[in-house]
Structure 1
Amino acid sequence: MSTIFEKLLSGEFPCAKVYEDDLVFAFMDAGQVNDGHVIVASKKPYETILDIDEETTQRLFLVAKRIAHVVQDVFKAEGITLLQANKDAGWQSVPHIHVHVLPRYKNDGVELVWPRKEPGIERLLELAKLIKVPSI
């Protein structure tokens, strides 16, 4: 079963592309949060950040950064939000890796809220010991 992004890329569904190369493509989100809301997606149908190869990861975020600069300039954004969600519990709505580039403005009505937990430094130190990140 192909995702909506695969259908956009193949031309089965129309889309307003703003960028395309051998690994990623970017297009205007049909559900614009603010004018200039762009989605950057991999061409290969990787589902999440946990599945994607390193070269595509680098390209995805480099293109998102470049688009963020252009969107900020063109739409005079007061800020930019990048959103990359994974799996249902992580708010992923399409099972195909993508990054939202959202131009933001003070009082634009866009909210991203979650309950803050403040466990204290001792617990944070315990949690940090569990995370062993290999060097790049």
Structure 2
Amino acid sequence: MDDCIFCRLVRGELPISKIAEDEHTLSFLNIVAAHPGHGLVIVKPHVENIYSLDDTLAAAVFQATARLARAVKAATGCDGVTLFQANEVAGGQTVFHFHIHVLPRYKGDELLPFWPATAPNREALDAMAARLRDVL
């Protein structure tokens, strides 16, 4: 897509601080970083979200993400790493080109508020598992 910011980065039209690149993916530092070392891994072809990823791209992006997570941990000395990936507006997606954030995390940094914990009963869990199996 001509106006997609990540497609423009893949085409080399905008500057990036590149970390890695392969046939299917590109990794670079986020210019709006939560911490130094906050990287993004994107798929090179324009794929809007996880629902449209084929198996080849899905495997490639998660392999690249695992490599970047190990590099972020080693290079920053962070206490942990959070992977963040959002789909659709309701899911928090703001750039509509598939990407995964690799966030270095530190004890007490209070990034990314998490959902309130609930404890569904076994029957509700089993019913949802059955619905998901039916769709798969």
TM-score range (shorter-chain normalised) is over 0.9
Structure with more helix by fraction = 2
1:11 aligns with 12
Partner of 2:38: 37
Matches within 5 A, 1:86-101: 86-101=87-102
Tell me the CA shift for residue 32 of structure 1: 0.7
Correspondence list, 1:83-122, <5 A: 83-122=84-123
Distance 2:117 2:111 in 1: 18
Matched, 1:70 2:62: no
Query: What do residues 66-124 of structure 1 show as CA deviations (whole Å, max 9, x unaligned)?
Result: 11101101100100001111111111110000010011001113123223332211111
Q: Which amino acid aligns with 2:48?
A: E
Match for 2:112: what amino acid?
E
Within 2, Cα distance between the matches of 1:53 and 1:22? 15
Q: What SS class does the counterpart of residue 107 from structure 2 fall into?
A: coil
2: CA distance, partners of 1:2 / 1:52: 20
Which consecutive aligned stretches of 4+ in structure 1 deviate over 3 angstroms post-superposition? none
User: What residue is the counterpart of 1:58 in the other structure?
Assistant: 59
Aligned pair count? Answer: 134
Separation of aligned partners in 2, 1:125 and 1:87: 27
Paired residue for 1:79? 80
Root mean square deviation of aligned Cα: 1.3
Shift of 1:52: 1.0
Residue 97 of structure 1 aligns with an amino acid whose one-letter code is: F
Runs of 5+ consecutive residues of structure 1 not aligned to the other structure: none
Identity of paired residues, percent?
Answer: 36
